[in-house]
Amino acid sequence: MDVVLSERDKMVSGAPYDPACPELVALRKRAQALMRDYNQTIFGDVQRAELMQELLGTWNGAVIRAPFHVDYGVNIHFGPGCFANFNLVVLDVCEVRIGARTQIGPNVQILTADHPRDAASRAKGIEWGSPITIGEDVWIGGGAIILPGVTVGDGAIIAAGAVVTRDVPAGATAKGNPARCNIGSEG
């Protein structure tokens, strides 16, 4: 007997899926309502923890400065001791894992979502994604963009404004567009 996957199951597995299906629309609306509420709070408001626990797959007490934007939220997993500055955007159609003590600068984009390259296929509305894994003790500078399917190793540095299209080894510094790595160098 063939197993029929839901559009949500297809999405999180990285298979092509229909984002207009009712289940995914409802999940995005839920995330939007939680983000709206969170983004109207300020540091120290007690409801912040409750909102993050409800929105995210794993929160672990991460400090996330508002505004914060996600597609679904439930596919995002923060390790303990993480910090995210203002205006973090995470398109989490697939899983995003952020390791312990990772620091994220302002205006960073972490994007698991991907789309067809030809216009006719894009017009059909189908999309897919690839998971992103960010190791422990990573620093991501302001305005950096991490694209679908990337893994960033422990202790790596992503320079401000870098566009990361490929995996970054542990301890490396990635900078530029597209980002290139210098192993064991901060410059």
Residues 62 and 77: their CA atoms lie apart, in Å, by 10
Q: Considering 115, 122, 166, 180, which one is annotated as catalytic?
A: 115
Residues 83/100, Cβ–Cβ less than 8 Å:
no
Residues 57-81: pLDDT tens digits? 999 999 999 999 999 999 999 999 9
Q: How confident is the model at residue 184 (pLDDT cuts 50, 70, 90)?
A: low
* Choice among 19-33, 50-64, 110-124 with the minimum mean pLDDT: 110-124
**Overall average pLDDT of the 154-174 stretch:** 98
- How much is the pLDDT for 178? 85
Question: Domain 7-181 falls in which CATH fold?
Answer: UDP N-Acetylglucosamine Acyltransferase; domain 1 (2.160.10)
State CA 141 to chain mean position distance.
15
Per-domain boundaries in the chain: 7-181
**Overall average pLDDT of the 81-103 stretch:** 98
> Is 77 one of the annotated active-site residues of the chain?
no
For residue 110, is pLDDT > 90? Answer: yes
**Overall average pLDDT of the 111-121 stretch:** 92
- How much is the pLDDT for 136? 98
Q: How confident is the model at residue 3 (pLDDT cuts 50, 70, 90)?
A: confident
Structure-block tokens of residue 127:
């999309």
Contacts for 150-159 with beta carbons within 8 Å, 24 or more apart?
Answer: 154/99, 157/186
